[in-house]
Amino acid sequence: MSRMRFIFALLILTWFSQGASASATGAPPTASTDRWWDSAVFYEIWPRSFLDTDGDGIGDFRGIETQLPYLKSLGVNAIWLTPIFNSPSYHGYDFTDFFQVQPDFGTQRDLSRLLQAAHTQGFHVIADMVINHVSNRHPWFQKSEQLQSPYADYFAWKSQAEIESVGWSQPWAAPGQSTWRNVWHVSEARLARHRQLYPSMAERDRPVYYYGVFGGSQPDLNFENPLVLGDIHAASRYWLEQGFDGFRLDAARYIFEDVTPVGVIQADSPRTIKFWQDFGRFVKGVNPDAYLVAEIWQTDEKIAQYYGAGGGLDAAFDFSFGNELVLGLAGKFIDQDKGPIFSVLPKPASLGGSIAATIHARSSSSAPGSFFASFLSNHDQLRISKQLGDDPGLLRVAASVLLTMPGTPYIYYGEEIGMRQPTFPDPADFYDDIFKRPPMLWSNGPNAGFTSGPQVWVDDAKWVPWRPHHQPWWQDFLQSIRQADAATSVDIQAAEPSSLFNYYRKLIAIRQARPELRANDKGSLEFLPGNGVVAMYRRVDQSGHSSIVVINPTAESHEVALGQNGCLFDLLSDVSVSCDTVVVAPYQTMILAVGGQSLPVTPCNN
């Protein structure tokens, strides 16, 4: 009890009450106490960039299968594959077929082999499911343009007269910065067909505009039409039966557009939130252990609506977490022009303040802590190494926070080696998403060991038709990063005990061994006074497990009074430390085990 004299809890947050409230609503489908994703560490793979095994310069299913032992050695146990269904774009977020795989990645059989191998090696695998919209080259859309039954109403078609009276705009644009023409697009093919069929109709009344919130090449599906829902259910069932363990739900905020007497709700509409609850029930009916994680690029409070008092989705990405972390570490946040919520974030004075802001936002929402999936960056964001200026100390601190926080963590491929992204003189290049998705750096050999072929896909101008002057950049990028630092590849870092890669390995192993560090709805997080250092008490009361996590995000050593008696064992450095006070070196993290398992006894070193 004496330690209580020393602990001045700045903030004590538990998730017991919220976790319990889920069962009060009656038999939520996800109420199981040992859900596999509570102890998952996810790894996001951009398949086109992971590993090429046939020399065509494009990553493939066999490449991922080949690298499962690598992922095993890193310690992750779940994989998110960004889109793998047939699509005309390099990114794949616009399907032309919900049942066929992208042929660039291999065959359906290759995918089955990959899933089987992954399951055998203990991984769960989720697929990116994009159902708000499809490609304008999808046969459904082309038939809809021709008013062909039953596809005529697979998309939201309206006339100019219907659209103009409502006040449509791009939902993420600042007020007055967009018009209905940003989201309603005319189909010349449908217009021609319509004139044929109904020659006397007024032009303003012809329903030849289709809704596409992400642009004309990605028409939104019309979920008012039950046939559309039937097709989406069939595809979801098919892929669950093929072995996927769940889905990452793209653009989940935009399913239904609700026209109300006071205006149109184009994102997070009540019907969209209800849609996902129904979809969750459908998916659990096919596989009760399937997991659904949604992309809802919003504040935690808004994200939490999708939890639906336990009857909604299993998880949603916590976009604030990465933003707050970068703010706390770099002191500035690179606005990616993704909407006003990013420009009004308060800037906390310290990393501790940033983490506290995230935890506070989660705990004051209507969803439990386990609902929020933490990540540093993803395929839509500047790589964390870019945001932190390639600072090796800050990259370690970011990893420490990610892997000691509650909420299922996601690692974007390459983050574990501090993978960088190129910078070019043209400011527009800075934001082009393709530079966030370069081939993985496996070795310091030719093409970084990504392909045995002569070219990598990012150099092929056909994938980036919006870049008329696209020049090959991959070789220059490799050369520039190696001039700056030879330790840029997996091979080099795996062999170097003090590398970032081995730091990630160790953090993941500790997280997996210590339930209090995962501690979703059953644990607590308590901040201790730290003088610029983040000190967090993490516990799971039932098991008696607890750890004190001490993270020094600064370039100076700090002494921290923890008020513990005797020695505690630092799981990261494998030494015992005297815990009246500890001295943490610049950018050092300590994970100090407090009971719960037998630990090696070494002499206290300070």
Please give the residue ranges that form the binding site for Ca ion (CB under 5 A): 52, 54, 56, 58, 60, 132, 220, 254
Q: Which is nearer to Ca ion, 52 or 94 (CB)?
A: 52
Q: Shortest Cβ distance from residue 143 to Ca ion (Å)?
A: 19
Q: Which is nearer to Ca ion, 210 or 501 (CB)?
A: 210
Q: Which is nearer to Ca ion, 52 or 65 (CB)?
A: 52
Question: What is residue 371's DSSP assignment?
Answer: G
Q: Shortest Cβ distance from residue 56 to Ca ion (Å)?
A: 4
Rounded Cα–Cα distance for residues 382 and 388 (Å): 10
Rounded Cα–Cα distance for residues 147 and 192 (Å): 11
With a CB cutoff of 8 Å and minimum separation 6, the contacts of 516 are 523, 538, 539, 540, 543, 545, 546, 547, 596
Q: Shortest Cβ distance from residue 60 to Ca ion (Å)?
A: 4
Q: Which of 131, 184, 128, 190 minimizes the C-alpha distance to 161?
A: 184
Q: Which is nearer to Ca ion, 58 or 84 (CB)?
A: 58
With a CB cutoff of 8 Å and minimum separation 6, the contacts of 300 are 318, 320, 358, 361, 362, 365, 372
Name the CA radius of gyration of the chain, rounded: 25
Q: Which of 172, 182, 183 minimizes the C-alpha distance to 340?
A: 172
| Burial of 138 per CB tally in 10 Å (0-12, 13-18, 19+) | buried
Q: Which is nearer to Ca ion, 14 or 451 (CB)?
A: 451
Q: Shortest Cβ distance from residue 317 to Ca ion (Å)?
A: 19
| Burial of 82 per CB tally in 10 Å (0-12, 13-18, 19+) | buried
Q: Which is nearer to Ca ion, 28 or 207 (CB)?
A: 207
Q: Shortest Cβ distance from residue 347 to Ca ion (Å)?
A: 34
Q: Which is nearer to Ca ion, 183 or 594 (CB)?
A: 183
CA angle 412, 417, 420 (to 5 degrees): 75
- Beta strands at 589-594 and 523-528: parallel, antiparallel or unpaired: unpaired
Q: Which of 272, 362, 283 minimizes the C-alpha distance to 15?
A: 362
Q: Which is nearer to Ca ion, 451 or 564 (CB)?
A: 451
DSSP secondary structure of 142-165: HHHHTT-TTTTTSB-EE-HHHHHT
SS3 content of the chain, % helix, strand, coil (to 5): 40, 15, 45
H or E element that contains 64: helix 61-66
Q: Shortest Cβ distance from residue 223 to Ca ion (Å)?
A: 7
Q: Which is nearer to Ca ion, 247 or 569 (CB)?
A: 247
Q: Shortest Cβ distance from residue 501 to Ca ion (Å)?
A: 25
Q: Which is nearer to Ca ion, 455 or 543 (CB)?
A: 455
Q: Shortest Cβ distance from residue 454 to Ca ion (Å)?
A: 13
Q: Shortest Cβ distance from residue 275 to Ca ion (Å)?
A: 10
Q: Which two tokens stand for residue 69?
A: 């032992």
Rounded Cα–Cα distance for residues 503 and 43 (Å): 16
Q: Shortest Cβ distance from residue 58 to Ca ion (Å)?
A: 4
